[in-house]
Amino acid sequence: MSDIVTLGEVADFEIDYLADFQKFKKVRQNLFYTTEGAETFYTYRGEELQEIRSADEYAFFVRQVFGTAARQIAFVSLGCGNAGPEKQFLHIACAEGHPLSYFGIDSSRAMLELAQRNLSAEHFPRTFVLADFTRPDFVERWRAYLLGYEVQLYALLGGTFGNFEQDFIAGVLSRLVPAGHYLYLDVVPQYESEAQNIRLRNRLLHLPQNLSRFFENLLKKLGLDQTCGELVNEEVEEAATGALRYVVQFRIHTPLDFACFGGVAHLEPGESVELLNVRAYQPAALQHFLAGWGFRYLAAYTPDVGNLPHLWQRLLFQKEG
């Protein structure tokens, strides 16, 4: 198994998480991907990943990015998780002779270890990096690893882009992706049919029930007793990105002091801890939003995922100079 490159200390990450929590009562999702939490999450999504036709996604990249087989390609997975969403089409690309290297970046060592195991039989070079790519010091420390690559493709898969505050993550990506290189986003799009959108909204509003074990792990890691409150979900419309935002929160019923990321947090009745953001986008509005951050929209790949009750869409952008 490959060594993990360390570009940040978990203790430093947790200091940031505590500051965020104390100020905003928001929990950064990536903190909770312990091995159990990671495996629970991917058990929920595993069947979806199996339905994607990886050969179609590979063909999409040949048309848009890969070009001639001689180009040196760096595929950089931001918040790589277990590397499941990208594994199969990268396998095909390698088998077809494209000289690609894989860089998996995550702030959870447990997730990186899952990715290592998942890609252990692959033949392309693999580098796993323990880092929080949103930290201001990351870009400067990272640049040296990509020298010599003609194509750099930065991917946010698994719906990760929709978990962040949008201006924040767009600013991070604008600094991180060099001019002329690529950004690949995995998002949940809204439908043109209102009847289909109603079904999508109903599914997202039931995230606390659909991902019950996942949220149980989050609360346990945070040290919150579930009997002290309840999980609630809220739908908010966001004009800038044309998204419907679903916020899963834990609403407190009784006054509570508890240990949190090395500190102590206090919550009053009625206060809520924000656990997760999920967004369903209007693709054209999202494309316009990212254009304001220097990303030119190129094309979309919509995986064929059989009988799932929602769509996925993967949007490809190029960073302008």
Summarised one tens digit per residue, pLDDT across range 176-229 is 999 999 999 999 899 888 888 888 888 888 888 877 877 887 787 777 788 889
Give the global pTM. Answer: 0.87
DSSP-derived pairing of the beta strands 243-252 and 272-281: antiparallel
Number of Cβ atoms within 10 Å of the Cβ of 151: 18
Are 302 and 276 within 8 A, CB to CB?
A: no
User: Other CB atoms closer than 10 Å to residue 292's CB: what's the count?
Assistant: 11
pLDDT of residue 85: 86
290: Cβ contacts below 8 Å, ≥ 6 apart: 170, 183, 297, 317
Residue 93 is predicted with a pLDDT of: 93
Shared-domain flag, residues 138 and 23: yes
Nearest-angstrom CA–CA distance, 132 and 30: 9
Whether residue 33 sits in one domain with residue 14: yes
Tell me if 230 sits within 8 A of 253, measured CB to CB: yes
What's the total number of domains in the chain?
2
Question: Do 304 and 267 reside in the same domain of the chain?
Answer: no
Q: Residue 34: what pLDDT?
A: 46
Residues 171 and 88 in one domain: yes
Answer yes or no: do 10 and 125 share one domain.
Answer: yes
Task: State whether 249 and 285 are in the same domain.
Answer: no
Same domain, 290 and 271: no
Q: Average pLDDT over the chain, rounded to whole?
A: 84
Shared domain check, 133 and 148: yes
* Helix, strand, coil shares, percent, the chain, to 5: 40, 30, 30
Asked whether residue 102 falls in the same domain as residue 180, the answer is yes
Q: Which domain holds residue 309?
A: 4-191+281-319
Q: Which residues of the chain have pLDDT under 70?
A: 1-2, 10-11, 14-15, 17-18, 22, 28-52, 68-70, 259-263, 305-310
Give 277-291 pLDDT, tens digit per residue: 889 999 999 999 999
Q: Does 212 lie in the same domain as 252?
A: yes
Do 75 and 115 have their domain in common? yes
What is residue 207's predicted lDDT score, i.e. its pLDDT? 82
Buried b (16+ CB within 10 A) or exposed e, 195-208: eeeeebeebbbebb
CATH number, domain with residue 91: 3.40.50.150
256 and 154 share one domain: no
